[in-house]
Structure 1
Amino acid sequence: MSRLPIPETVTFIKAPGRDAAADNAPVEKLVAEVIARVESEGDAAVAEYSARFDKAELSRFEVTAEEREQALSRLDPQTRADTEFAIANVRAFAEAQLGSMSEIEIEIRLGVHLGHRNIPLERVGCYVPGGRYPLLSAPVMSIVPAKVAGVGEVIACLPPNAHEAMIAGCHLSGADRIFRIGGAQAIAAMAVGTESVPAVDKIVGPGNAFVNEAKRQIFGPVGIDQLAGPSEIFILADHTGDAEMIATDLLAQAEHDTRTRVGLITTDAALAKAVLAEVDRQLETLSTAATAGQAWRDYGEIALCPDEATMIAYSDIVAAEHLQVHTEDAKAFARRLSHYGSLFIGTNASVVYSDKCCGTNHTLPTMGAGRYTGGLWVGTYIKTVTHQWLDEEGIRQVAPPAVRQSASEGLEGHRRAAALRLERLQAR
């Protein structure tokens, strides 16, 4: 549940049965063991954990050039065309984002020059989840923006039992090296480096609870994109909402995982009841109902609000990963929203389009993190670093206040460093 108070006027037509944040398995100890052993034993530990967790006995982890080409040749032609369609869209959007990231240098005071540069990371690790299904969009979302950003080397890790098409997806997306390693051991290998896997500077990509915990534990010496919880979709709807469409979109996301959080926030009681009935009706014929139905029972919710202001207030508290707007004037309504991972404006903008191929990234903040961060984008792979240089007039500008501030703080070494250049300048 949210750490922020829910408005008292919100009524739950259906309340979630469980708290997704409290249901994480106690994996911290096991993940710590995996990281420690991979750091001390390298490939041997990776092999042992791959056999233990993924039932995969591997003599080597890296996918060869021949295996990459073989996976590509076996890829269904239409699947390849669709993957390349997604790659083109994600690349085009990432290139546009990169073009918006300007470098600057300004003379902030006479003789004082400040600036920043955008420098791509040298080596990035992309974790590509296997999951219940072969998620062909997953490598596209993490690898393509890295290549657009100019990352020197992109390492991809995916579970050894992942569908062969996932290898083809990594290859088409531009991965420099691909490894058949999954779970916490993959994160550990990329973080500390082994005989086979090079250590990276940053790790991105979603995964299960073990992957998430491993990312949390290695963060510091290695960067991460974010800590991703179970997927989420919320839909904001007024009296114009279409119950069939809303239920369809909720269940489309619910089939990801039994812990997916799905919800409707509405001002219309009749719509709330209609969606509740429609979800039950659609579950009767949905082939993935075992997963989607459990997610709906455990984490689904329908919240009824007395007015638009309350609907927006509750939505901003949830800060949903995916937020759809189904209101009479969706564009105007969307401008009033502040907290979300990605926003889907109007009934034509389904989360599924972004999940697969429209061009925005599907790796997004969950569990309320949309209140302080956005999702994966080309800037994730770039560090913006500052620089400064001063001429003689710049020394005259900044040295006296720096000397005084250092003296008032009792930092004599600072005071001397600030004063030395001014003293030499004055001596000249």
Structure 2
Amino acid sequence: MSRTIKAATTPSTAPSGDDTVGRTVRELIADVRRRGDAAVRELSARFDRWEPESFRLGDAQIAELIGTLDPQVIEDIKTVQANVRGFAEAQRESMSEIEVETSPGVFLGHRHVPVQSVGAYIPGGRYPLTASAHMTIVTAKAAGVPRVVACTPPIRGEIPAATVAAMHLAGADEIYILGGVQAIAAMSVGTETVAPVDMLAGPGNAYVAEAKRQLFGEVGIDLFAGPTEILVVADDSADPFVVAVDLLSQAEHGPDSPAVLVTTSERVATETARHIEEILPGMPTGDIAGPAWRDHGQIILADDLDEAYRVADGFAYEHVQILTENPREALDKMHAYGALFLGEGTCVSYGDKVIGTNHVLPTRGAARYTGGLWVGMYLRTVTYQEVRDPQASADLGVLCGRAARVELFEGHARSGDVRAAKYAGVPLDWTGHFQAVRA
């Protein structure tokens, strides 16, 4: 039986119970819905102290911003986006369209049709999060989305040039320097200058996440995002220093980001905890990673790897890193995770920033029932039907009449009756609830 070496002091998945965020977001969305651009401008000035003549960047502005960046930054953005694009395109190619003849003259099929417009939210705040542009925009374009609107907030009153470069190179059709609920609302409900989109994608703070939740249904969304999560499964072969570094790499996302180690080795558990305490004081983002580890960090000792995998599945975390002698074993043993990172040669940070898989992943236990953002989320799998043979349509018409009348759907039954009559001469008699029978 597993035992806890270090416990979290604050539940990571518990809702706050405070409806202040919900009420505030509801009011802000209603204001944008009612007053459009005027509301967006006032909210941007209020929350971001940002009130330019136009929130949308023109081609010349974009070129000027890109020109301020070191060429190596541009080259790196292009390389990472090529990785993301290559994997997304491979995923798209794996999605076959089908057409089958289920019985003589009856053809059924499905096609994968792109969403026609997507709003990509690229968060800002403390850091220019260029990687979110790669994940949301590049993947949408790989799916064939014709219009991608991208929004990102100013950072300390400045336009984040690297983020703009990433959005532009990813293929964004419209770029707005606009953040928060006002950006989500503008893209979703539309204003005088921003045409509404069909779907929203991208992470954000609690207010952005709540705005997406409230607007879901009016528009589609990718995922309900929560704090970033990491869980490491390790045996005695793991390097405790590497484990510690990798746990803290994700804890720096936010003070509410949980980091969990599940290990079969008491040595790895003890030494990992020691390394974390040694690393934190000198870590530039220790003011965030420290509280995250203190309040949400856990170390759990399991009897064997089978138990470790079961414990890990119980967390159903966003990122699960496997540092064991045989990491690929987890592909068969584990079932609930957003993404697996197998072996010491890879790490969650690769997935976040450079390797090519998508980093928009399910959190707060959602990995039990969904995967993360991928090219397929921007596609609608739609079906079509065609009955080419008159006799087949007549036979289906007779069957439809019987099946629909069992459910007391007379109108449905009559749609079948008329085809049975037209194509096979079955007499129509709708006095009472006549069941068509082949003559």
**TM tier relative to shorter chain:** over 0.9
**How far off its partner does 1:193 sit?**
0.4
Instruction: Specify the code of the residue in structure 2 equivalent to 1:425.
Output: Y
Q: 1:23 to 1:415 in 2, by over 3 A?
A: closer
1:184 aligns with 2:181: yes
What's the C-alpha RMSD, in Å, of the aligned pairs? 1.3
Structure 1 residues 178-327: aligned runs within 5 Å: 178-327=175-324
TM-score (norm 2): 0.93
1:404 aligns to what? Answer: 402
- Cα distance in 1, alignment partners of residues 425 and 14 from structure 2: 67
Instruction: Specify the code of the residue in structure 2 equivalent to 1:125.
Output: G
1:34 aligns to what? Answer: 28
Instruction: Note the residue ranges of structure 1 that are not aligned, 5 or more in a row.
Output: 1-8
Kept in 2, the 8 Å contact 1:262–1:299? The answer is yes
Which deviations, in whole Å up to 9, do the C-alpha atoms of 1:377-427 show, x marking residues without a partner?
111111110000112132144222221111111111111112111111122
Structure 1 residues 2-401: aligned runs within 5 Å: 9-22=1-14, 24=16, 26-161=20-155, 163-391=160-388, 392-401=390-399
Kept in 2, the 8 Å contact 1:326–1:345? The answer is yes
Q: Give the secondary-structure state (helix, strand or coil) at the position aligned to 1:89.
A: helix
Q: Give the secondary-structure state (helix, strand or coil) at the position aligned to 1:380.
A: helix
**How far off its partner does 1:309 sit?**
2.1
TM-score (norm 1): 0.96
Kept in 1, the 8 Å contact 2:137–2:167? The answer is yes
**How far off its partner does 1:17 sit?**
1.1
Q: Give the secondary-structure state (helix, strand or coil) at the position aligned to 1:21.
A: coil
- Cα distance in 1, alignment partners of residues 318 and 412 from structure 2: 46
Kept in 1, the 8 Å contact 2:264–2:301? The answer is yes
Q: Give the secondary-structure state (helix, strand or coil) at the position aligned to 2:380.
A: strand
Which deviations, in whole Å up to 9, do the C-alpha atoms of 1:344-373 show, x marking residues without a partner?
011111111111111111111111111111
Instruction: Specify the code of the residue in structure 2 equivalent to 1:352.
Output: S
**How far off its partner does 1:23 sit?**
5.3
Kept in 2, the 8 Å contact 1:325–1:334? The answer is no
Q: Give the secondary-structure state (helix, strand or coil) at the position aligned to 2:333.
A: coil
Kept in 2, the 8 Å contact 1:20–1:299? The answer is yes
- Cα distance in 1, alignment partners of residues 257 and 309 from structure 2: 22
Q: Give the secondary-structure state (helix, strand or coil) at the position aligned to 2:13.
A: helix
Larger RCO (CA under 8 A, 6+ residues apart): 1
**Percent identity, aligned pairs only?**
46
Instruction: Note the residue ranges of structure 2 that are not aligned, 5 or more in a row.
Output: 427-439
Q: Give the secondary-structure state (helix, strand or coil) at the position aligned to 1:385.
A: strand
For this pair of structures, how many residues does the alignment match? 420
Once structures 1 and 2 are overlaid, which stretch shifts more, 210-219 or 124-133?
Answer: 124-133
- Cα distance in 2, alignment partners of residues 78 and 115 from structure 1: 47
Kept in 2, the 8 Å contact 1:236–1:326? The answer is yes
Bigger-Rg structure (1/2)? 2
